[in-house]
């Protein structure tokens, strides 16, 4: 990696890519000259008890397609961050402020920053709103409609 460039690195799952992801990555890019993004693999997410909707290969391609991102790498474990900081001569490690304090130990290798997230949006919120479409909720709705229908029939 070019030693004259200020290298920034961040990591994430980037499931159900939304405007909050884009805002965060653009802010990260503004911290330096070159942005590296580690995208969590499906296997690593499973270790973190996270289930994604979009598979790793597709999430990787989405992030690679962003003009603010210079390099995308797979994230396979927690320990990788320290290795990547050294490998890529990183100046700034950045994460969303929901991770505040979790990576302060990396300050010995580079500057650590926590940036504000976009208010009102997250992949978790999107997934929760989609729960109404899952099989259990559809079955509950069907049962409720059956109950309402039987009540209406009594008045006919």
* Enzyme catalytic residues: 48, 50
In the chain the first and final C-alpha atoms are separated, in Å, by 77
CB 30 within 8 A of CB 66: no
What is the C-alpha separation between 45 and 51, in angstroms, rounded? 7
DSSP string, the chain: --TTS-EEEEEE--TT--HHHHHHHHHHHTTSSEEEEEEEPHHHHHHTT---SS-HHHHHHHHHT-TT-SEEEEE--TTHHHHHHHHTT-SEEEEEGGGTTTTGGGGGTSEEEEEPPPTT--HHHHHHHHGGGSHHHHHHHHHHHHHHHHHHHHT-
């Amino acid at each position: 990696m070019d030693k004259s460039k200020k290298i920034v690195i961040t990591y994430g799952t980037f499931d159900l890519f939304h405007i909050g992801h884009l805002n965060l990555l653009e802010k990260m890019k503004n911290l330096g000259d070159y942005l590296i993004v580690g995208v969590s693999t499906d296997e690593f997410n499973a270790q973190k008890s996270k289930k994604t909707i979009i598979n790793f290969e597709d999430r990787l391609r989405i992030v690679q397609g962003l003009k603010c991102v210079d390099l995308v790498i797979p994230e396979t474990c927690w320990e990788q961050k320290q290795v990547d900081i050294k490998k890529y001569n990183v100046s700034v490690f950045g994460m969303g402020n929901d991770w505040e304090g979790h990576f302060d130990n990396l300050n010995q290798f580079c500057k650590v920053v926590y940036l504000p997230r976009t208010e009102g949006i997250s992949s978790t919120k999107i997934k929760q709103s989609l729960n109404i479409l899952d099989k259990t909720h559809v079955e509950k709705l069907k049962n409720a409609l059956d109950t309402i229908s039987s009540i209406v029939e009594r008045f006919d």
